[in-house]
């Protein structure tokens, strides 16, 4: 298996480099007006996500409450506890906004497409993965800003969890609902041009990354960030990911879950969504010059989780094949 970065990762790196070189172009009120462009793009992305959601797949995955409980508590309880420990124990080692970025990763919902794709590759329980990935994304619109209020209250006195939830409801949830309502009318179009959602999704993420790092560069944030701190950041991301895998595997075995449910739990419980995280960050930290620093742990986690999950999915698939042969 090769671990060469895909085109999206390379484009994300390019967006960061361009933001470091030409920060004035990427700021929210710059010549490209990326503030307005990304706001519109985010609304469009969630409209398409809503339109693409098949309710029947959710209904199919409703059973097996133990798996659902494990995945959602891992995402919104275990991860945030780890994030809080990190935030309050390393405040003298790493910049405050970088630690805020780590807690932001901990507070985010699971991925949708990646967790389902990895579960399918692992020959796991795909309906369970679809149900939990979708539920996690919807819960994250409320739970993520509520969790962020725990730590932002220590550093940003102007943060209001109710205002954040309202902004997310208007910017993310409303387009999602409208998309679901429009699904009967545009389902055939989306089926025919399925790749359009991924392309729009990734374009919006790239614009948010470019804008975030441009704002941080223009604000002089990176001059305060050392190579040693960057190395520590990568190390902590790996620790985060390792703990997430270890916990979900251990808990799955303790619950006596079959292999197909275990793989769904691992891939839904350990992954964090860049697709949801970038838009939520754009809302929660709008105008914050430290956005690039806040986004950095999520960008690193995103790439490392894909590499690790690809390896684990193959291992689960081999185990599943052995069990099928023995049955």
The CATH number of the domain holding residue 34 is 1.20.1530.20
- Residue 326 lies inside a defined structural domain of this protein: no
- Residue 1 lies inside a defined structural domain of this protein: no
Instruction: Tell me how crowded residue 189 is: count the other CB atoms within 10 A of its CB.
Output: 11
Q: pLDDT at residue 3 above 60?
A: no
The whole domain housing 213 covers 18-321
- Measured distance CA(5)–CA(114) in Å, rounded: 15
Lowest mean pLDDT among 70-74, 82-86, 168-172: 168-172
The two tokens of residue 23 are: 């920060």
- CA atoms within a 13 Å half-sphere pointing along the CA-CB vector of 206: 17
Predicted model pTM: 0.82
At a CB cut-off of 8 Å and minimum separation 6, what does 321 contact?
123
- Measured distance CA(215)–CA(25) in Å, rounded: 10
- Residue 197 lies inside a defined structural domain of this protein: yes
Whether the Cβ atoms of residue 155 and residue 25 lie closer than 8 Å to each other:
no
- Residue 327 lies inside a defined structural domain of this protein: no
- Residue 62 lies inside a defined structural domain of this protein: yes
- Measured distance CA(108)–CA(103) in Å, rounded: 9
∠ CA(34), CA(223), CA(274), 5° rounding?
Answer: 45
Question: What is the per-residue pLDDT for 28?
Answer: 76
Which tops the pLDDT comparison, 40 or 275?
A: 40
Query: Over the chain, what is the mean pLDDT?
Result: 86
State the total domains in the chain.
Answer: 1
Question: What is the per-residue pLDDT for 61?
Answer: 66
The position carrying tokens 């804008």 is: 211
- Residue 249 lies inside a defined structural domain of this protein: yes
- Residue 42 lies inside a defined structural domain of this protein: yes
Q: How confident is the model at residue 76 (pLDDT cuts 50, 70, 90)?
A: very high
Residue of 125, 127, 86 whose CA lies nearest to 103: 86
At a CB cut-off of 8 Å and minimum separation 6, what does 24 contact?
30, 31, 214, 218
- Residue 10 lies inside a defined structural domain of this protein: no
Tell me: the pLDDT tens digits for 156-182?
Answer: 445 667 777 888 888 888 998 999 999
Q: pLDDT at residue 199 above 80?
A: yes
Tell me: the pLDDT tens digits for 251-265?
Answer: 999 999 999 999 999
């Amino acid at each position: 298996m090769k671990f060469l970065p895909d085109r999206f990762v390379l484009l994300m790196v390019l967006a960061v480099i361009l933001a470091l070189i030409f920060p004035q172009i990427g700021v929210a009120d710059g010549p490209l007006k990326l503030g307005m462009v990304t706001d519109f793009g985010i609304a469009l992305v969630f409209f398409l996500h809503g339109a693409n959601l098949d309710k029947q797949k959710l209904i199919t995955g409703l059973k097996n409450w133990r798996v659902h409980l494990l995945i959602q508590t891992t995402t919104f309880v275990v991860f945030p506890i780890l994030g809080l420990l990190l935030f309050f124990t390393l405040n003298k080692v790493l910049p405050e906004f970088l630690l805020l970025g780590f807690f932001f990763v901990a507070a985010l919902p699971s991925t949708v497409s990646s967790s389902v794709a990895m579960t399918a590759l692992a020959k796991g329980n795909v309906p369970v993965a679809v149900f939990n990935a979708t539920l996690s994304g919807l819960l994250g619109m409320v739970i993520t800003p509520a969790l962020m209020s725990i730590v932002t209250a220590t550093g940003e006195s102007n943060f209001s969890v109710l205002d954040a939830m309202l902004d997310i409801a208007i910017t993310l949830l409303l387009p999602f609902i409208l998309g679901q309502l429009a699904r009967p009318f545009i389902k055939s179009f989306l089926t025919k041009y399925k790749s359009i959602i991924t392309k729009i999704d990734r374009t919006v993420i790239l614009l948010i990354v470019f804008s975030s790092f441009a704002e941080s560069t223009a604000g002089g944030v990176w001059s305060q960030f050392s190579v040693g701190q960057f190395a520590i950041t990568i190390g902590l991301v790996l620790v985060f990911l390792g703990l997430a895998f270890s916990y979900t595997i251990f808990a799955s075995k303790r619950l006596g879950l079959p292999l197909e449910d275990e793989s769904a739990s691992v891939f839904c419980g350990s992954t964090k969504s860049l697709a949801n995280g970038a838009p939520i960050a754009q809302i929660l930290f709008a105008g914050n010059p430290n956005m690039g620093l806040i986004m950095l742990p999520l960008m690193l986690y995103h790439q490392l989780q894909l590499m690790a999950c690809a390896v684990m999915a193959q291992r689960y698939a081999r185990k599943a094949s052995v069990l099928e042969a023995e049955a």
